[in-house]
Structure 1
Amino acid sequence: MSSSLPPTPTLSASHSGIPSRLLPKATKAKSLIYAGKTTPDTIPRTRGLALPQGISKPAFLSAISSLRAILGGENVEINDGELKNGWYMEHPNTHDMMPILSSEEFVASAVVYPGSVSEVQTITQWANQHLIPISPISLGRNLGYGGSAPRVRGSVTIDLGRRMNKILDINAEDFTCLVEPGVTFYALYEEIQRRGLGDKLWIDCPDLGGGSVVGNTLDRGVGYTPYGDHWAMHAGLEVVLPQGEVVRTGMGALPGNNTWQSFPYGFGPVSDGIFSQSNFGIVTKMGMTLMPNPGGYESFMYTFQNESDLAPLIEIIRPLRISNILENVAQLRHGLQTISVKGLPRTTYYSGSGPIPESIIHEELKKTPTGDCTWVYYGMTYGPPHIRKYKTDIIDAEFHKIPGCRKIDPSTLPTDEYFWSRDKIAAGEPDLEELLWTNWVPNGCHIAFSPVSPIRGTDASKLYELAKNRHAEAGIDLMPAFCVGLREMHLIVEIVFDGKDEGMKKRAEKCLRDMIDDAAALGYGEYRTHLALMDQVASTYSWNDNALMKLNEKLKDALDPNGILAPGRCGIWPKRYRGRGWEMMQTGAGSSEGNGVAPSPGEAKI
């Protein structure tokens, strides 16, 4: 690594740091990323301080001064200097470090750091008084989906992670925990090990462990053990509503309750769902269930030679997955990702224009320990040896119905092979490998296409073909992965682009927007998307004259009459913003701003 790059902070120094055991990986990853940068890490501002529309600069600065007087000057920062991008482990909290638009489109005016629930209440009350939009983040590592950026330019970011990062409880008898927003998967795992509970308790983590347990779960992220559906595994929320009230959901509403993390429902309507992928409240505590150590595990990897193997393979996977013979949220990835995840630039293999030819992909794969293939399946089985053998024998017999199927012997794989990262993650141990494929192009950024479908071969083929066609039009390499749940599968297509190349950025955005429309026409919807795409994705859920969005707007207007909390998140706009051009759709995309906001009757204006 260049001597000009300081070492990555560790967990002992920062709530958002890397575990010491992963510091060598972090050092390597950081050096590879910076080796591919052709632009400075800091971005000069051309548009000045981003102010919320309808707020003058003097009025804004006066409001900020009043907030500083309450929270302390060190906990309120105005964002009027250069923008610094950093990388995954040292990311910005003011904007999106992987912008598909200009870095100054989705940018905060200031950042505040509450240290308690009462301070979060204070901030919401302040925002209502001054009609300033606020945008909460847990850690802001939602890369590929907008990172830390607010949807409305000039919003004040509430960074919950810096000072609200406590693990409030780990219950080894009930297999649950209670955490604040600043707790990362790294931190939760390391604390379980520190307490000597690693032989008993497992966590479930996504591809990278630096994200917030709360933030990832609220955005309905997935992991790779049998507990991979994170939202299904949460139990109990504490939420600050947009006007400052605090509620606890489920059993938490009962004073002195003793089952908040043990039973997620309580009595009456289950309200938790309205705080997931929404702008209806700020979650300050969340309970999660933990997985019992299964008493053993065994990772396995199969390769399949032909592109046409996709549909019959998915048909084999479905009954195995539904019956839990295939136990975890496993991944079926394209062979190109086996190459790209090594972290080397595309020019190592091909310097031509357009998508890398399949012949070159196959030739390069022949040189890898995985060998030549089109598809790679990463899975794991759990339990004592005789239980694992029973399951793996069934899996092996079924997978070998595909001609050319190969089971890769893990003992033949070097210690730095990507397989071992998947092995750790599927055993609940957070790692740091996944984003190495962003080095595929200089100044590597990514944005994700994430549709959901049934586990059917016809569905997999349709989605793969539409993605392949649109990538060919855009001249972008296709990197698809199917993440298979119990009765659905997520297709995650990471579009990797050069953040400095404006032409490539426009092609990447158009490719993604076209795929969203193509998928919707076939009956498939995204489960998650980037800030710039939220309006378009929300508009595809339009059954019965947009009845769902109308319900969301009613909830928004009732809970947040002044429209201050994360306006526009997930396509949900407050009444003050509607009909003023804030929505970013397929046509007219490129600007994040509308034409002002309406007055809020009965509220003080400045």
Structure 2
Amino acid sequence: MATADVLSELPITPLITEKHSGIPERYAEQCKQSKARLYSNKTLPPSVPRDGELPVLPPDVDRDTFNKAVAELTELLGAENIELNDKPLVDGWYMEHPNTHDAFHIVQQSELVSSATVYPGSTEDVQKIVRWANKYLIPVFPISMGRNLGYGGAAPRVRGSVIIDLGRRMNKVLKIDGNSASCIVEPGVSYFKLYEEVQKTGLPLWIDPPDVGGGSVLGNCIDRGVGYTPYGDHFANHCGMEVVLPSGEVLRTGMGALPGKNGADNPSWQAFQHAYGPSVDGIFSQSNFGIVTKMGMWLMPETGHQSYMITFPRDEDFEQIIEIIRPLALNRILGNIPQLRNVIQELAVTGKPKSFFYPGNDPMPREVIRSHAKNMPCGDVAWCFYGTVYGPEETRNMQLDIIRREFAKVPGSKFMLPDELPADHYIHSRVRVCSGTPELRELDWLNWKPNGAHLFFAPITPTKGADARVVHEIVTRLHKKWGFDSFPTWCVAGREMHYIANIVYDRADDDEKRRAIALMREMVKEAADEGYGEYRTHLIFMDQVARTYGWGDQALMRFNETIKDALDPNGILAPGRAGIWPKRFRGKGYELLPGDEKSTPP
């Protein structure tokens, strides 16, 4: 169906004034167009019938016990705050996503599903839920907003777990402090919402959004996501947490552990990240040791900025490019977390499907990519580097002079500013993201395949050309082997780079999903064998990735399991997240390792 026809039929995405996960009015038209493009390339029905008795039960819980437990939880929180997962599963799309399963299901849609969803309205409600879970030994799986798409979305790792959806009712920006350039947010605050709230204050402050602005600020941070301003390392720029432990107790980290005068919050809570003694914030990132219900974040003071794009003609240029990047990044000449992207992404972010460029189902040949690129603003190139510098004009010009000079060492490179490129070019989206304004444009490459979904393979390498080549050759070779186009991006943080390989697949095609899993499994193994590990991964690969960090006979995992068993003896909080299983589940067939995807966990 054509995009124009879809536009006339699709319901409007809720505004943020109507729903915490909605879109600000200023983005309504962009959102409408993006949604229409995605739905015009969709062949799946809204839902398919589900088999068996519903809802799916948690492990070791019979239906009578489950019904009794749900009745008690309803008494505790109110019937309006409990939903059973006994209805058809609807994938929706990014801005209207499910909280029952993974919208980008890579295994069968019905595999990674919850039994119910509960909506707390406060830290005290979260405490009640956790104590209830301990009483009935029902695993719970907290989500902030469920938009962790590409890594599992809102799906629980253990089938039949109860989802704790923190976002629907805990979605306030609790504080914005212009003096310390900081804020305190609840889990349901999206980057869109935080941006809108900062704008209302009139304060000269920026947020740091990731590529797409609809996700949770808190959720992205504790999953150690990244953005693209100088504040792009989100966990490094958090300051102070309030956490509900698996026992139901509450603690505050950092200076929040010291009570403020007359019961107030400690005035230094968002100013200094640590307390006295061990710094514990890190154990609540990418873990199942506690539920973060409030978090401080540092905001960036508004400043001058200038974005740019540099193109490079040859595939083999990337080693030299990265060697040039490293000293520029270490000396902070590169002002932000820049991206080095393969030119195929210049095609994908137009929102046009792969079939527009190439009729085959096999990976698009290199010469076909270049034949289309030569008619685009980037030209016939191999790589596009997107960067931004910051500060007063004099400072920016000095930095740009150095950047131009250094990258000119790559023969055939070309430096371009945004005003030299068309108004619909992707660089203008990068300008906004790199100056603290959330965006939706990055969704458009999902149109590459019908029913587009994606997985991220995300290893870390040093900022060295030789290391980059090892991983890049593994990724390129295995994508070709398993029949997928390769969309490599390096996000450069200085001494290290996040290599983001994005596998785009058709979630209606079981064979594509099988091959995507096999591709991920092989990339994880081969990269780890060379010494390169992922910083983040999808639910079904967590066990495999966790085991690659096996130095000292799995010393890190044994340490994590010791903490887990001490804090969560009943094993109720997100069992299996980050590959960490509590004693109750450990070694009993719940792990998913290579070859296990076809079997359903017990």
Q: Could you tell me the TM-score, scaled by structure 2's length?
A: 0.97
Equivalent residue for 2:301?
292
CA distance in 2 between counterparts of 1:563 and 1:414 reads 55
**1:501 counterpart = 2:506:** no
Counterpart of 2:449 (choices 416, 441, 446) is 441
Is the partner of 1:127 in helix, strand or coil? helix
> In the TM superposition, what whole-angstrom CA distance separates every residue of 1:51-86 from its partner, at most 9, and x where no partner exists?
112111121011101100110000000001100110
CA distance in 2 between counterparts of 1:562 and 1:469 reads 44
CA distance in 1 between counterparts of 2:414 and 2:210 reads 27
Is the partner of 2:561 in helix, strand or coil? helix
Is the partner of 1:177 in helix, strand or coil? strand
User: 1:459-538 residue pairs with structure 2 within 5 A?
Assistant: 459-538=467-546
Equivalent residue for 1:188?
194
Equivalent residue for 1:24?
29
Is the partner of 1:95 in helix, strand or coil? coil
Could you say what the CA RMSD is over the residues aligned between the two structures, in angstroms?
A: 0.9
Q: CA deviation at 1:43?
A: 2.9
Counterpart of 2:15 (choices 4, 10, 16) is 10
Aligned partner of 1:593: which letter?
Answer: P
CA distance in 2 between counterparts of 1:373 and 1:100 reads 33
Aligned partner of 2:210: which letter?
Answer: P
**1:319 counterpart = 2:319:** no
CA distance in 1 between counterparts of 2:391 and 2:51 reads 58
User: 1:537-548 residue pairs with structure 2 within 5 A?
Assistant: 537-548=545-556
Q: CA deviation at 1:588?
A: 2.5
**1:150 counterpart = 2:159:** no
Equivalent residue for 1:215?
219
CA distance in 1 between counterparts of 2:179 and 2:416 reads 38
Equivalent residue for 1:53?
59
* Residues 108 and 155, structure 1, Cα contact 8 Å, conserved in 2: yes
**1:159 counterpart = 2:176:** no
* Residues 245 and 251, structure 2, Cα contact 8 Å, conserved in 1: yes
Equivalent residue for 1:96?
102
> In the TM superposition, what whole-angstrom CA distance separates every residue of 1:199-232 from its partner, at most 9, and x where no partner exists?
x211111001111010000000000000000000
**1:105 counterpart = 2:115:** no
Equivalent residue for 1:556?
564
> In the TM superposition, what whole-angstrom CA distance separates every residue of 1:480-525 from its partner, at most 9, and x where no partner exists?
1000002110000110000011001111110011000010011000
Equivalent residue for 1:339?
347
Same amino acid, percent of matched pairs: 54
**1:255 counterpart = 2:263:** no
Q: CA deviation at 1:354?
A: 1.4
Q: CA deviation at 1:589?
A: 2.8
Counterpart of 1:401 (choices 403, 409, 431) is 409
Is the partner of 1:14 in helix, strand or coil? coil
CA distance in 2 between counterparts of 1:412 and 1:300 reads 10
Q: CA deviation at 1:107?
A: 0.5
Q: CA deviation at 1:105?
A: 1.1
CA distance in 2 between counterparts of 1:292 and 1:22 reads 24
Equivalent residue for 2:91?
85
* Residues 81 and 118, structure 2, Cα contact 8 Å, conserved in 1: yes
**1:428 counterpart = 2:441:** no
Aligned partner of 2:533: which letter?
Answer: G
CA distance in 2 between counterparts of 1:41 and 1:234 reads 38
Counterpart of 2:126 (choices 111, 120, 127) is 120
Aligned partner of 1:277: which letter?
Answer: Q
* Residues 452 and 527, structure 1, Cα contact 8 Å, conserved in 2: yes
Equivalent residue for 1:390?
398
Q: CA deviation at 1:404?
A: 0.8
Is the partner of 2:13 in helix, strand or coil? coil
**1:281 counterpart = 2:267:** no
* Residues 144 and 219, structure 2, Cα contact 8 Å, conserved in 1: yes
> In the TM superposition, what whole-angstrom CA distance separates every residue of 1:443-483 from its partner, at most 9, and x where no partner exists?
00000000001000001111111000000100100001000
* Residues 341 and 490, structure 2, Cα contact 8 Å, conserved in 1: yes
Is the partner of 1:111 in helix, strand or coil? strand
> In the TM superposition, what whole-angstrom CA distance separates every residue of 1:425-457 from its partner, at most 9, and x where no partner exists?
000100111121111010000000000010000
Q: Could you tell me the TM-score, scaled by structure 1's length?
A: 0.97
* Residues 316 and 399, structure 1, Cα contact 8 Å, conserved in 2: yes
* Residues 479 and 494, structure 1, Cα contact 8 Å, conserved in 2: yes
Counterpart of 1:361 (choices 366, 369, 378) is 369
* Residues 106 and 592, structure 1, Cα contact 8 Å, conserved in 2: no
> In the TM superposition, what whole-angstrom CA distance separates every residue of 1:213-268 from its partner, at most 9, and x where no partner exists?
10000000000000000000000000000110000001001111210000000111
Equivalent residue for 1:565?
573
Structure 1 runs (4+) deviating above 4 angstroms are none
CA distance in 2 between counterparts of 1:580 and 1:171 reads 49
Equivalent residue for 2:243?
239
Q: CA deviation at 1:547?
A: 0.4
Equivalent residue for 2:263?
none
Is the partner of 1:83 in helix, strand or coil? coil
CA distance in 2 between counterparts of 1:344 and 1:386 reads 40
CA distance in 2 between counterparts of 1:65 and 1:99 reads 30
CA distance in 1 between counterparts of 2:122 and 2:329 reads 42
Aligned length: 591
Is the partner of 1:525 in helix, strand or coil? coil
More displaced stretch, 202-211 vs 3-12: 3-12
Aligned partner of 1:85: which letter?
Answer: D
CA distance in 2 between counterparts of 1:450 and 1:592 reads 26
CA distance in 2 between counterparts of 1:96 and 1:517 reads 24
Equivalent residue for 2:381?
373
Q: CA deviation at 1:343?
A: 1.1
Is the partner of 1:380 in helix, strand or coil? strand
More displaced stretch, 220-229 vs 362-371: 362-371
Q: For the structure 1 residues 592 and 166, does the alpha-carbon distance in structure 2 shift closer, same or farther, using more than 3 Å as the test?
A: farther
* Residues 340 and 491, structure 2, Cα contact 8 Å, conserved in 1: yes
* Residues 307 and 417, structure 2, Cα contact 8 Å, conserved in 1: no
Aligned partner of 1:126: which letter?
Answer: W
Q: CA deviation at 1:367?
A: 1.3
CA distance in 1 between counterparts of 2:46 and 2:430 reads 30
> In the TM superposition, what whole-angstrom CA distance separates every residue of 1:154-193 from its partner, at most 9, and x where no partner exists?
0000000000011111000011100100001111111111
Q: CA deviation at 1:17?
A: 0.8
CA distance in 2 between counterparts of 1:591 and 1:452 reads 31
CA distance in 2 between counterparts of 1:287 and 1:592 reads 39
- Unaligned runs of 5+ residues in structure 2 are 1-5, 261-265
* Residues 7 and 33, structure 2, Cα contact 8 Å, conserved in 1: no
Aligned partner of 2:43: which letter?
Answer: T
CA distance in 1 between counterparts of 2:48 and 2:243 reads 35
CA distance in 2 between counterparts of 1:455 and 1:46 reads 49
* Residues 331 and 378, structure 1, Cα contact 8 Å, conserved in 2: yes
Q: CA deviation at 1:592?
A: 5.0
CA distance in 1 between counterparts of 2:283 and 2:99 reads 25
Is the partner of 1:220 in helix, strand or coil? coil
**1:411 counterpart = 2:415:** no
Q: CA deviation at 1:352?
A: 1.3
CA distance in 2 between counterparts of 1:41 and 1:509 reads 24
